[in-house]
């Protein structure tokens, strides 16, 4: 192995098997190094960002693909893989010009489920 590869810190990958919940809490824990306070802060930030991005994408403006891409990255970071997949589908639909409304509806549903899971976690 080359020295460059030996020094490289690898990012954990999402699970290979699908999960049944809107959030992969094990992934979130790895990404926040097990810091429960940071997990809550990141989840709250994602929930707020998702609302803003969904509102901005509602009319599918010219920048909707870029907004979907942004949401996809944020969702992957917290383990909201259904949101990330739906955002990727919307991004593809916008670029191809096909099924944009359907893809947006699927993303809206995934975000709603993720936000409900986040609310349950953040409740005192």
Q: What is the pLDDT of residues 18-27, one digit of tens each?
A: 557 899 999 9
Q: How confident is the model at residue 101 (pLDDT cuts 50, 70, 90)?
A: very high
Mean pLDDT of 111-115: 98
pLDDT for the residue 41: 97
User: Which pTM value belongs to this model?
Assistant: 0.83
Mean pLDDT of 99-106: 97
pLDDT for the residue 83: 98
* pLDDT beyond 80 at 56: yes
φ, ψ (nearest 5 deg) of residue 109: -65, -45
């Amino acid at each position: 192995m080359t020295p460059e590869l030996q020094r490289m810190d690898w990012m954990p990958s999402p699970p290979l098997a699908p999960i049944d919940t809107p959030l992969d809490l094990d992934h979130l824990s790895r990404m926040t190094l097990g810091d429960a306070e940071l997990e809550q802060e990141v989840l709250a930030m994602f929930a707020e960002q998702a609302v803003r991005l969904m509102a901005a994408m509602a009319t599918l403006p010219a920048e909707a693909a870029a907004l979907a891409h942004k949401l996809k990255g944020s969702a992957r970071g917290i383990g909201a893989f259904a949101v990330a997949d739906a955002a990727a589908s919307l991004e593809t639909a916008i670029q191809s010009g096909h099924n944009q409304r359907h893809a947006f509806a699927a993303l809206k549903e995934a975000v709603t489920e993720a936000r409900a899971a986040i609310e349950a976690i953040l409740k005192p």
